[in-house]
Structure 1
Amino acid sequence: MITIYLVRHCEAAGQEPEAPLTPQGEEASLRLASYFEKKSIESIVSSPYARAIATVRPLAEALGLEIEIDDRLKERVLSSAPLEDWVAKLEAVYADLDLRYEGGESSREAMARGISVLEKLRNRPESRFVLVTHGALLSLMLKHYQPEIGFREWSRLTNPDLFRLELGDAEARFERELLPSSFSKG
C-alpha cells in the first residue's frame, strides 16, 4: 500500500502557468511544509505550473528532496477559446465525462492523464508521496475512485486543499485532510 497526498496548490495571483503565489499563498506553503515534515515523505511530484512548484518548494527544501515535474499534472484545458458562462460549461463536463469544448480535453481524458501519474507512482519503490496539482484535475482524479464526485465538490475546494489517498493492489481509499483554517481563505 502506498500513500499519496494529493495537494491543490496554494492561493495564486492568476491562472496562467507562470502565475506566482500570493503573499497568503506563500505563507500557506510554509505551513504546508510544517504539516508534512513528520509524515515520512519520500518523493514530491508537481505540476510544471509555477504556483504548484512554489506550493511544495518549502517542503522540498526542508526534506532535502528534489521536486519531480510531471507535465501530466498540469490543469485540465476546458477550451482553447474563451467560453461565455464558463462555470456552467465546467459543470456540464462533470455530468458528461466525454463532453469536450473546442481545443479542450474531456473530463475522461483529463482523468486518465491524472490517473496515469498515480499508476506510475504505484510501481515505484517509494511508498509516501506528495503530489501537487490543480483543482479540476485533482477532483477528476478523486472522481475516478468515487464517481459521485463532481462539480459541487470541485466548487468547495480550497487553496491549498489536501486529500490522503491510500492505494493498494486492488483497493483505493481517500479522505480529505482537515487543514487548519489559517491555511486558506475558502
Structure 2
Amino acid sequence: MTKLYIVRHAHSTYTTEERTRPLSKEGRADANALCEKLSMYPIDIIVSSPYQRAVETVKPLADYLHKQVHTMEGWKERTLVEGGAADFQKAIEAVWEDESFSWPGGESNVEARDRGVQALNQLLEKYNGKHVVVGTHGNIMTLIMGAFDTNYDVNFWRGLRMPDVYTLTFEDKELARVERIDL
C-alpha cells in the first residue's frame, strides 16, 4: 500500500505571478498547524509543486521531520489561460463544461489531468509502499482525483479549503481508498 497525502496549499497573497505567489500570514499559520497534524503520520518523503505557495505549505513539515521538499513540475497548478483570466469564474466554468476546451496558452481539463496522473504514477512507481506528502493546488488535485472517481468534479473543487488534505491509498496503481484529514 502506498499512501499519498495530497495537500492543497494554504491561503496565499494573490499576485498574477503563479510561480512566486507566497503564502499570506494566515496561510503561514495554517502551514504550521498542518505540520502539527501531519507530523503524527509516518511520512517517508515530501514532494511539491514548484510553486512557492505549495512549497511553503509543506516546508514546515519537511523542516520538522528533517526532510527535503522535492519539487515536481507535474504537480503544478493547471494553466488556465496565458497571462491570467480577465474573468476567472467565466474562464473556469468554460474548462469544466467542456473537458477538451482550453483558453489561449492554457490547458484543457484533459491535458492537465493527463499531466497530473502521469506525475502521480511516477510517485507510485518510485515510492511504492511509502507514505508521501504532496503539496499541490486545488484544480490539479481535483482533476487527478477525478481520473479515479468522477465525483471529484468542479463542485468538489469549489468546496476545498486552504489548506486541505486528502489521503489516497493505492494498492499498486489502483486507488483503494480516499479519506479527508480534518485540520
TM-score by length of 2: 0.91
Letter of the aligned partner of 1:12 in structure 2?
S
Cα separation, 2, equivalents of 1:127 and 1:64: 17
Bigger mean CA deviation after superposition, 106-115 or 12-21:
12-21
Q: Which residue of 1 aligns with 2:55?
A: 53
Letter of the aligned partner of 1:142 in structure 2?
M
Q: Which residue of 2 aligns with 1:175?
A: 179
Deviation at 1:62, TM superposition (A): 0.7
- Secondary structure at 2:135's aligned position in 1? strand
For structure 2, the 5+ residue unaligned runs are none
Cα separation, 2, equivalents of 1:61 and 1:86: 35
Question: Are 2:119 and 1:117 equivalent residues in the alignment?
Answer: yes
Runs of 4+ aligned residues of structure 1 deviating over 6 Å after TM superposition are none
Deviation at 1:81, TM superposition (A): 4.6
Cα distance, 1:81–1:67 mapped onto 2, change above 3 Å = closer
Cα separation, 2, equivalents of 1:87 and 1:65: 38
Choose the corresponding residue for 1:132, options 129, 135, 139: 135
- Secondary structure at 2:166's aligned position in 1? strand
Cα separation, 2, equivalents of 1:82 and 1:61: 33
Bigger mean CA deviation after superposition, 34-43 or 83-92:
83-92
What do the CA deviations read for 1:3-30 (whole angstroms, capped 9, x no partner)?
Answer: 0000001111114221211111111111
Is contact 2:124-2:173 (8 Å) kept? Answer: no
Cα separation, 2, equivalents of 1:178 and 1:51: 20
Cα separation, 1, equivalents of 2:84 and 2:61: 35
Cα separation, 2, equivalents of 1:170 and 1:51: 28
TM-score by length of 1: 0.90
Cα separation, 1, equivalents of 2:167 and 2:116: 15
- Over the aligned positions, Cα root-mean-square deviation in angstroms equals 1.5
Deviation at 1:170, TM superposition (A): 5.4
Q: Which residue of 2 aligns with 1:147?
A: 150
Cα separation, 2, equivalents of 1:84 and 1:67: 33
What do the CA deviations read for 1:142-170 (whole angstroms, capped 9, x no partner)?
Answer: 11111132221111111101111011135
Question: Are 2:106 and 1:87 equivalent residues in the alignment?
Answer: no
- Secondary structure at 2:147's aligned position in 1? helix
Is contact 1:90-1:151 (8 Å) kept? Answer: no
- Secondary structure at 2:126's aligned position in 1? coil
* Count of matched residue positions in the alignment of Structure 1 and Structure 2: 179
Cα separation, 2, equivalents of 1:96 and 1:86: 16
